[in-house]
Amino acid sequence: MTRIPVTLAWTDEADRTLPLPSYETPQAAGADLRANFAPGLRESGMTVYPGARGLVPTGLRLAIPEGYEVQIRPRSGLALKHGITLPNAPGTIDADYRGPLGVILMNMGEQPFVISHGDRIAQMILAPVLQAGFVLAETLDDTARGAGGFGSTGTG
């Protein structure tokens, strides 16, 4: 498996004893991110109530190489068992962002969900980026689909 170097740094408030993201299996696409709370929240963790959302710190900053992004995606186990998802999935981490990596978790389940310090809450995927060269024109080329969309081909 090709490995693209991505540099990690702890934030000032991070608990540096937590494991760094790593791939759980040889061909895993995602590396899990852990909740890494500032000292005041480490005992209590954070509770996300049904229908609510919260910003969970990971304690990490990244330097992603030019031409790549990191996507933050939900973990399917948390989604299935607890309704925990990311309202902005996939979260976009730009290659030139150097701030703290945060995970926006939303509780679509029926029960309050407690996030404890060190829990694996989401996963990050490294992906290549293509930028468009935008060109303004008066007309666009014709296609068979034309303006049909939003269910125009039916459901069957």
Residue 88 makes contact with ligand DUT by CB under 6 A: yes
What is the C-alpha to C-alpha distance for residues 156 and 151, in angstroms, rounded to an integer? Answer: 11
* Options 44, 47, 76, 92; binder of ligand DUT; rule CB under 6 A: 92
Q: How far is the CB of 82 from ligand DUT (least distance, A)?
A: 19
The greatest distance separating any two alpha carbons of the chain, rounded to the nearest whole angstrom, comes to: 61
Closest Cα to residue 36, out of 46, 49, 47? 46
Q: How far is the CB of 127 from ligand DUT (least distance, A)?
A: 13
* Options 32, 42, 97, 116; binder of ligand DUT; rule CB under 6 A: 97
What is the C-alpha to C-alpha distance for residues 84 and 48, in angstroms, rounded to an integer? Answer: 9
* Options 9, 28, 94, 129; binder of ligand DUT; rule CB under 6 A: 94
Residue 102 makes contact with ligand DUT by CB under 6 A: yes
Stretch of 14-22, 27-35, 41-49, 91-99 lying at the interface with ligand DUT (CB under 6 A)? 91-99
**Tokens representing 56?**
């969970």
Residue 9 makes contact with ligand DUT by CB under 6 A: no
Nearer to ligand DUT, 59 or 91 (CB): 91
Cα 125 to its chain centre, rounded Å, is 8
**Tokens representing 84?**
């925990």
**Tokens representing 99?**
């701030």
What is the C-alpha to C-alpha distance for residues 43 and 76, in angstroms, rounded to an integer? Answer: 26
What is the C-alpha to C-alpha distance for residues 85 and 53, in angstroms, rounded to an integer? Answer: 9
Q: How far is the CB of 46 from ligand DUT (least distance, A)?
A: 16
Residues near ligand DUT (CB under 6 A) are 72, 88, 91-94, 97, 101-102, 104
